[in-house]
Structure 1
Amino acid sequence: MRYHPLSVLSVLVFTPLSGLATPRPFASHWDDLREKHTWNSVPENWQNLGHPPADTTIDLHIALKAKNENALIDALIEVSSPGHPKYGEHLSREEVAEIVAPPSDVLEFANAWLEHHGVHPSTISTKHGGSWLTLSGVPVSRANELLSASYQLYQHIGTNDTVLRTLSYGLPAALVEHVQSVAPTTHFGFPRTPWQEPLMRRGGETTEQTKVPGRDPGTVLSSRDQDVTPSFLRTFYKTSSYVPSAAGWNTLGVAGFNDDWPSPDDLRQFMNQYRFDATDATYRVVQIKGGGYDPSNPTHEANLNTQYTSAIAYPTTHIFYSTRGSDTLGDRFINWLDYVLGLWSVPQTVSAPYGIPEYKVSPDYATHVCNLLAQLGARGASVLHSSGNDGVGRGNCLVQDSSGNSRVQFIPNFPSTCPWVTSVGGTTGYNPEIAASLSGGGFSVLFPRPSYQNNAVPPFLLNLGGQYNGLYNPWGRGVPDIALQAMRFPVVLKNEPWVVSGTSASTPTAAGIISLLNDYRISNGKAPLGLLNVLLYGICLEGLNDITSGSNPGCNTDGFSAVPGWDPVTGLGSLDFERLVAILSRW
């Protein structure tokens, strides 16, 4: 089976709209609609609750394509490539906005279309160089007319989260090729937490606990395994002797969704037990779009993220972003990106251990989000996402395509498959460090292989031969990029000890180490690392520990195997901080 992946870098032929400067001549265009995206049925694990109340309103984000769709990625690669004259010259908010701005006549056309449908200009805000139109408080009846949609309420089975979505939407024919995406529309899944079943230690024993509602269980770990503590991680990855000196300028951002938030009391108790020289560690909370924060009711995910980024990167400034977005408030991930990209200065490192199966994401939404993540990289942020905890996929991996036909397919996670983030897999053990069987890995169907992987990925495919033909896209972006310890991480939750496993543990560990590398560069008058992948597959390759054993079974198969060089289980390997510092000191 041959795949034809959608390229985020593909350039559509642009038809000038010059001369269409007033609403009146446009009227004949509005009734000629074209489908933008459609699901054939309600996505799995969601149930239809029917139409919302008549007075319901919704906030809409309309993303317009840039006048030069390649310009952003070109600039990102330039500032991320050692040896290029522009290496390290990350772009300002205004410079990025200028690059992603749409043609002026397309913006005029879009505004005329909105005016025709009665959307008052006062409810429209134009952001990011005009590439992003936010419509506030649009009546659902008007949104249905505007997008040829049928918004209804849907509830997620298991979490009881309720969202306002449509199974299909369209746009005027003259505009459809110039709009990247409209959200929220057909994207049901917000970022989910890809982690393992938590285990609680009682009286020295490790016992399986009740499944956390709404979260998929993972492999139950053996009580014979040794806990992975901050002191072990700092020694193993060689950060323990480094003392940060740019804490006032270097920031580590922690993304929080799904009403996940941490507890400062738990952080204090965790540090008292595992890093007593950092008991004053803290974080600042930014609540986005009404995001909640109740430190008396923390979650494993948020505590795991803040406790391990803090334990590795202390005393680096930490910001926890609590983002809301469901029902009428739009998409959580886009709300977070909207806020961060609007900042004058973005955090130099971001830990975001969330993801959903790529096949559940519409191509237009995925491309839009990936482009926004590229903007973060161009601004100088190193963004790390977890590769997931299901190996090559959970269950029988029967996936329904856009035509309604089902087929077996390995299932990578998005946004990990976006080429402009660093995907983090999982390892376990030491001497040697091996792949954790849960480590998500594979090849994107939506995004083609980026140029920085052209030397690393083909050797693996050549050795793989015809095994698994038709189950994966050999031309797709390969994940993960790196992998770190992921098993048996102690955390403190509501003053009680728990042990959790998964790439939601390896991701904050990696983010803490990358934040220290950014501290080193900033304290020496150099630019932060920004997009990591060009470095990892290039000059920093010698600063990684190659993982050559283990596999990631799934989809009723043995999955891929870790081998010398890059592989879709552990990527390029784990991080060696001291070697990376030595390499980066020369650039």
Structure 2
Amino acid sequence: MHYRWIPVLFLLSAVPLDGLATSRWEHMRSKHSWKTIPENWESLGLPPADTMIDLYIALKPYRENALIDALNEVSDPGHTRYGAHLSREQVADIVAPHPDTVQLVHSWLEHHRVLPSSISVTHGGSFLTVTRASVSQANDLLGASYQLYTHTKTNETIIRTLGYSLPVALHGHVQTVAPTTFFSSPLTQWQTPHKRSSVAAVGLGKSPPAELVKMPPSRRITSVTPAFLRWLYNTFAYVPSATDRNVVGITGFAEQYPNPADLTSFMRKYRPDGIDATYVVELYNGAGYDPNNPGLEANIDLQLSEGMSYPTPHIFYSIKASENGDVFLAWLDALLSQESVPQTITTSYGDYEKLHPMEYATQICDLFAQLGARGASVLFSSGDHGIGEGDCKNDDGAVRFTPLFPATCPYVTAVGGTTSFVPEVAASLSGGGFSEYFLRPWYQQQAVYSGLYNPSGRGIPDVAAQAMRIPFFYRGREIIGRGTSCSTPIVAGIISLLNDHRLSQGRPPLGFLNPWLYNGGLNGFNDIVSGSNPGCNTDGFSAIAGWDPVTGLGTPDLEQLLH
């Protein structure tokens, strides 16, 4: 018996039950709204009358803190449960809503004549999905006004509303609904590539590996090759042996596909021992795979990760956004439904945190926490525009730095960029700063210094790697790229080697990295103490001794991390 409803039924006993239900669902309160259309979007007016959308309803878990508590325990090297990652079923049990929540939401949907056959449980049990609701039905459910919007730079068209509401009775049970006011579109974190010949030669500064010494002086380190990276980050001596269990996952959005011939060309030139490198493609949400129409981002991510971690198996996820334009929900739904997840996942996409409604960002972040609890190390690019583009002024005229999401999520590892060689310095493009949504997590309390802009927020990046003068192959031609799209798969490749080492010894993978990074792994990073990340018409932050919001803890040294 649900005792909390008894007083209400008693006091209103003279009211017909159908009238009581109607009154309950008509008492609405705003959940989120924008004052104006978000930047770079414009309205195309009402969608066609027969337009259908899928609605994702995030339900609050019955045990509110259980997922994060479990994640912290299995990720903290000092905890007795360290490494005891959870199964898909265990996570689903932890994030499950209270039966009262499920019953209440179903009653609301039934009141609006949503067919039970169109309702399903998704995202590890934390969402209800309503398939193919009409726009008019969605407007009624959410007190919304859905319109078509187009992105002025990419021409992407989506269905969104500038505001939505929920019945007051549901505010304590529903975290967020999507798609509603989320207008962001994940952007790749790389900058315009250059032809191979545009890079000047740079000296090493310390003894290089033999294969580099044999090169003519004119060819030594004219770009940041896998041979140089493997020397710089001390991975040369490590040979993966757990290739039957260890996997690297690479996400591909926006119809970005890798090309196997380009991968072979890259490996032939830079990892000749790995000329047979290949990958598996998994298609999500109706996505395609056309290797004859490759994408720069997909090629960068795959080639750099393979160059660092060969012969570790790779899965390329080709992900199509839902019909409503939400790519993260589409991908995470499919991935979390699998029995097992990759030990390392690298993603070079993101957009400014401020463009995401806070409750939506929180829910997506919690889905990444589910991946971490199941043993996945999830890495994201920290961005390529320092602390932000333009003047960064908000509606009140105050300057607000603009860090990227999902990098600001406390349950992923954000990767910044470095340049130069020995010693490395911060790359000026390296995204960094502090979240406006997420408080500083416990694992950063000792590392993140005070006196900075919004120091109470989660600081990014966590780590860094080379992000400039990076060669890769695209449509048979070698070109040079730059950005944290390069540094992120480099770090992912190194993390996959650490996971390989653990698995080969019968130990669990690292899983969510950050508690280990800021404690046990702290001494395995090269501290970066010079350079800065200007932006927002300011000088940005400076790289200093210890953690900083430009290069995080620094760049990895595999030999030190293995000890």
TM-score of Structure 1 vs Structure 2, range by shorter chain:
over 0.9
1:283 to 279, 286, 308: 279
Distance 1:262 1:128 in 2: 27
User: Which residue matches 2:166?
Assistant: 171
SS in 2 for 1:146: helix
Contact 1:23 1:113 (C-alpha < 8 Å) held by counterparts: no
1:314 to 306, 310, 316: 310
> In 2 relative to 1, CA 526–23 (structure 1 residues): closer, same or farther, beyond 3 Å?
farther
1:430-449 map, 5 Å: 430-449=421-440
User: Which residue matches 2:535?
Assistant: 554
1:144-166 Cα offsets, whole Å, 9 max, x none, are 11111111111111211111111
Distance 2:88 2:195 in 1: 45
Contact 2:60 2:126 (C-alpha < 8 Å) held by counterparts: yes
SS in 2 for 1:197: strand
Q: Find the structure with the greater CA-based Rg.
A: 2
User: Which residue matches 1:504?
Assistant: 485
> In 2 relative to 1, CA 291–542 (structure 1 residues): closer, same or farther, beyond 3 Å?
same
2:519 to 538, 558, 561: 538
The question of 1:234 aligning with 2:209 is answered no
Amino acid at match of 1:300: L
User: Which residue matches 2:399?
Assistant: 408
1:526-547 Cα offsets, whole Å, 9 max, x none, are 0000010000100111111111
The question of 1:486 aligning with 2:477 is answered no
Distance 1:292 1:432 in 2: 43
Task: Report deviation, 1:226.
Answer: 3.0
Q: Percent identity?
A: 56
The question of 1:520 aligning with 2:511 is answered no
> In 2 relative to 1, CA 569–37 (structure 1 residues): closer, same or farther, beyond 3 Å?
same
User: Which residue matches 2:204?
Assistant: none
2:140 to 145, 150, 159: 145
SS in 2 for 1:399: coil
Task: Report deviation, 1:406.
Answer: 3.9
> In 2 relative to 1, CA 224–529 (structure 1 residues): closer, same or farther, beyond 3 Å?
closer
Amino acid at match of 1:543: G
For normalisation by structure 2, the TM-score amounts to 0.92
1:70-99 Cα offsets, whole Å, 9 max, x none, are 111110000011131111000111111111
User: Which residue matches 1:292?
Assistant: 288
Contact 1:352 1:384 (C-alpha < 8 Å) held by counterparts: yes
Task: Report deviation, 1:484.
Answer: 0.6
Distance 2:561 2:365 in 1: 27
1:39-63 Cα offsets, whole Å, 9 max, x none, are 1111111111111111110011110
1:400-479 map, 5 Å: 400=395, 405-458=396-449, 461-462=450-451, 472-479=453-460
Contact 1:101 1:128 (C-alpha < 8 Å) held by counterparts: no
Amino acid at match of 1:502: G
User: Which residue matches 1:52?
Assistant: 47
User: Which residue matches 2:179?
Assistant: 184
Contact 1:50 1:153 (C-alpha < 8 Å) held by counterparts: yes
User: Which residue matches 1:7?
Assistant: none
Distance 2:230 2:82 in 1: 29
Amino acid at match of 1:110: V
1:95 to 90, 97, 101: 90
Amino acid at match of 1:579: Q
1:272 to 268, 289, 303: 268
Distance 2:184 2:401 in 1: 19
Distance 1:94 1:224 in 2: 52
Distance 1:320 1:130 in 2: 25
1:438-494 Cα offsets, whole Å, 9 max, x none, are 111000000000000000113xx24x5xxxxxxx32210000000110001111111
Aligned length: 537
Amino acid at match of 1:137: R
Amino acid at match of 1:145: D
Task: Report deviation, 1:129.
Answer: 5.9
Distance 1:316 1:205 in 2: 32
Unaligned runs of 5+ in 2: 10-15, 201-218
User: Which residue matches 1:243?
Assistant: 239
SS in 2 for 1:308: helix
The question of 1:62 aligning with 2:57 is answered yes
User: Which residue matches 2:256?
Assistant: 260
User: Which residue matches 2:348?
Assistant: 353
User: Which residue matches 2:126?
Assistant: 131
Distance 1:23 1:43 in 2: 42
1:225-272 Cα offsets, whole Å, 9 max, x none, are 931111111111111211111111111100111111111111111111
User: Which residue matches 1:567?
Assistant: 548
Distance 1:525 1:177 in 2: 44
SS in 2 for 1:398: coil
Task: Report deviation, 1:497.
Answer: 1.3
Distance 1:98 1:414 in 2: 27
For normalisation by structure 1, the TM-score amounts to 0.89
Distance 2:420 2:258 in 1: 28
Task: Report deviation, 1:200.
Answer: 2.1
Amino acid at match of 2:320: R
